[in-house]
Structure 1
Amino acid sequence: MSSPADKSDPFDPLGIAAAMGEWCCLLKAAQELRNVDAEMMDTLLEANAAGPTPLGPEAAAKVRAIANLMRSLNLDPEAIRRREPETMMKLEAACLGCTERGRCARELWAGSAAGTYHEFCPNAARIDRLRRA
């Protein structure tokens, strides 16, 4: 019994068209996975905003860090969450992806984060916009 792959295409003897078709399918699948990943992140952040966090302890600590930084800058994270939920979700998402967790924790603990967050925080520009508002 022969499969479709066994039949050669007289117009594509090297199978380039078939390979390109498979490549396109893989790219579409990758895009779908990226979309699902983004939707899942939004869902997790929305669930976190609504109540107890479904995130693991490390992720929850990262999300709490942004609230602590905001408080150190005299910003009320809960008021911002109510007034601008999308902004808060973006802040938390950036915090989840941050690679400077150790420095952030040290600066927050030392009480110096308000003066140094521009050096390490991926949310610095968003926080500055909130401070000017």
Structure 2
Amino acid sequence: MSNPADKHDPFDPFGIVASMGEWCCLLKAARELKDVDGEMMETMLDASATGPVPEGPEAVAKVHSIVNLMRSLSLDAEAVRQRDPETMQTLEAACLRCTQRGRCARELWAGTAADAYPEFCPNAARLDRLRHA
């Protein structure tokens, strides 16, 4: 059985046209990903506009995670920021250094973060203090 790649185009003996077609597809996909990434960054910046903007998209996503985790615990991040900005900065800084971002995102998405956060969150003790304050 012959493979389409085994057939040679007499007008393109080196496969340059086929390679260019594949390259164009990759460029198109890269542009689409860039557009999606840009839209996501704007969304995250809008959501975290209430405080100091960290550097880089990963930092913004992590700070957004602490806000979502606090929301799942019925804590108002904006109220904490206004009442005690140092505490909020400490929470954000710990979140920025966290190595469990994937798990945090999965737990938030699944709606189980409020129960599971003590197992992985570096802010667990601080959040518990806020919950019982």
**Post-superposition offset of 1:48:** 7.1
- Where in structure 2 are the equivalents of 1:67-82 lying within 5 Å? 67-82=67-82
3-state DSSP class of the match of 2:88?
A: helix
**Post-superposition offset of 1:67:** 0.4
Match of 2:51 in 1: 49
Match of 1:3 in 2: none
- TM-score (norm. length: structure 1): 0.61
For structure 1, the residue ranges without an aligned partner over 5 or more in a row are 1-46
Distance of 1:89 and 1:66 partners within structure 2: 11
**Post-superposition offset of 1:89:** 0.3
Q: How many residues align?
A: 85
Native 8 Å contact 1:48 1:54 kept in 2: no
- Where in structure 2 are the equivalents of 1:1-133 lying within 5 Å? 49-50=51-52, 53-133=53-133
Distance of 2:127 and 2:80 partners within structure 1: 11
For structure 2, the residue ranges without an aligned partner over 5 or more in a row are 1-48
**Post-superposition offset of 1:117:** 0.1
**Post-superposition offset of 1:104:** 0.2
